[in-house]
Structure 1
């Protein structure tokens, strides 16, 4: 049985554009190493007025 596949021009264009997966990205190119500052934690300042903005509390998130 000979069947000819009728291919829509739009479908052919989609297959040409999206028909295969992109090349794999190596893990080494996704990792960025950065030198840490030696005393970053010791020299950081503490501001008690703004400290609440950085902590997560479910009751505050829910407005309780």
Structure 2
């Protein structure tokens, strides 16, 4: 029987090492950043606790 020798070049070896396993999973909470859309301006004193109601047309 003839023995088959497989010749693996350097590029093929790098591809095999790179793509031979799946990447580590990323947790969903690591993909989300929570911050206010408009920061509260404490210096002007323009805080209105009913802002959401006024903004949504409730008054």
Please give the range of the TM-score, normalised by the shorter of the 2 chains.
0.3 to 0.5
Which structure is larger by alpha-carbon Rg, 1 or 2?
A: 2
Q: Which has the higher contact order (CA 8 A, sep 6+)?
A: 2
